[in-house]
Amino acid sequence: MQPQSRVKFSLIIPTYNEGKNIGAIVNQLSTLLDAALPEDYELLVVDDDSPDRTWELAQALMSDYPQLRVMRRQQERGLSTAVIRGWQRAQGQVLGVIDGDLQHPPEVLLNLLSAIDQGADLAVASRNAEGGGVSDWSPTRRFLSRGAQMLGLIVLPRVVGRVSDPMSGYFMVRRSAIGGCTLDPLGYKILLEVLGRGNIAEVAEVGYVFQERKEGESKVTWKQYVEYLMHLVKLRISSPSGRLKRLKQKLPFRRFMRFGLVGVSGVFVDMAMFYLLSDPSTLAWGLTRSKILASEVAIVNNFLWNDRWTFGDISSRQRGKRQRLRRFIKFNLVCLAGLILNVLLLNFLFNVLGINRYIANLIAIALVTLWNFWLNLKLSWRVTDTQE
Ligand code: GDD
Ligand code: MN
């Protein structure tokens, strides 16, 4: 999503065959927003090439409503993608969505906006919050709606449980909360996607009564129920359980993998140098002299890669030659201590515990790699050293 924001608020109105409603809803929304946010908002109708030519009717309104923009999509279809495409084109810091059939009362918009102003990242219009409800729904429809919500609570409690009306299609969210995320929803329920993938710290709810449709007809069929279920499962699969997630955040797996790879590259550098210096066919230096120099070259190699790659994010916050030299010296010391530890461990495992020498060496290397990693993380690339 582009970071540009030239207005405060962008409201998407997804439409499919809403020709009979479009004039009224644009009028009501403009009246409200012209008073609340003069020239600091935009209305974006995203129409999927409706056969009743809603897009054409909307375009004709643009001369009367300068804050109105219209997108006619001919390649793609679907409510959720319409909303996301709209947000991608939108210029507001706050991104919202409202149905185009007047079933969502426009006045509620102002309450949602003030919830955002008071610090919420996401403000949801809810049928199940105080002051909310549905007009006259049949028991079957109520049952289906509640059933779907219960199912969601079972499959995705941490996402669905955060709001009282997870099916709501009337809400607004700060652009910054979803800016870095890839939203890839399925079917109708875009709010699930925002809750599941967005970076939402504070949620606010505003009650509203879901109005009856006066014009046009609903596009909901059994297909939307199936898609809803598939969407829940998809979100469930892509979001690891809380415990695993926390563990992943705590343990620097990625860094450790990188550190290990760099270590392997160091072995090759060491070997090559050792050959060049000590082999009778090349320089034929003494064993110890060759080994010390080869090790040092490998250490320099490892330092450069680790500084750029493994701990690159930390290094970039500790700029300057002096800081870099300090990191290099510490790295050297840690590696040297690691080497001594390596020899001691090998001796202990082989001589005291009687483990096979190669297995003992492998264990020693593995333990020393961990030691090197932790110490370097704590000393050489210490995050607390950063200067802003
Ligand atoms: N662009 C686009 N493409 N718009 C669509 C599509 C589509 O494929 N399908 C539906 N829409 C538009 C409709 O024109 C309408 O403006 C809005 O999306 C909602 O569609 P409805 O068919 O009227 O749905 P609903 O009334 O059963 O349910 C709505 O209200 C619920 C309660 O808040 C939905 O918005 C639900 O998401 C919402 O929870
Ligand atoms: Mn509707």
Q: Are strands 41-47 and 92-97 parallel, antiparallel or unpaired?
A: unpaired
Give the model's pLDDT for residue 240.
Answer: 61
Per-residue model confidence as pLDDT tens digits over 136-192 = 888 888 888 888 988 888 888 888 899 999 999 999 999 999 987 788 777 778 999
Q: Which two tokens stand for residue 283?
A: 């320089």
Q: Which two tokens stand for residue 279?
A: 């082999």
Q: Separation of 79 CA from ligand 1 center, angstroms?
A: 6
Query: Facing residues of 14 across strands?
Result: 46
Give the model's pLDDT for residue 183.
Answer: 83
Evaluate if residue 217 carries a pLDDT over 50: yes
Ligand nearest the Cα of residue 86 is 1
Ligand nearest the Cα of residue 82 is 1
Evaluate if residue 380 carries a pLDDT over 90: no
Mean pLDDT across the chain: 89
Atom in ligand 1 nearest the alpha carbon of residue 47:
1
Whole-angstrom distance, CA of residue 292 vs CA of residue 278: 11
**pLDDT confidence of 316, banded at 50, 70, 90?**
confident
Q: Rounded to the nearest 5°, which phi and psi values hold at 384?
A: -70, -15
Query: Measured over all CA atoms, what is the biggest interatomic distance in the chain, rounded to whole angstroms?
Result: 94
Matching CATH number, 7-246, of 3.90.550.10, 3.20.20.70, 3.30.2180.10, 1.20.1050.140: 3.90.550.10
Q: Separation of 368 CA from ligand 1 center, angstroms?
A: 59
Whole-angstrom distance, CA of residue 292 vs CA of residue 270: 10
Give the model's pLDDT for residue 11.
Answer: 98
Binding pocket residue ranges, ligand 1, CB within 6 Å: 14-16, 18, 46-48, 77-79, 82, 99-101, 103, 167-170, 188, 210, 218-220
**Residue of 11, 12, 13, 15 with the most ligand 1 atoms within 8 Å of its CB, for mutation:** 15
Per-residue model confidence as pLDDT tens digits over 55-67 = 999 999 999 999 9
Over residues 357-368, the mean pLDDT reads: 87
**For ion ligand 2, residues whose CB falls within 5 Å:** 101, 103
Ligand nearest the Cα of residue 219 is 1
Residues of the chain with CATH 3.90.550.10: 7-246
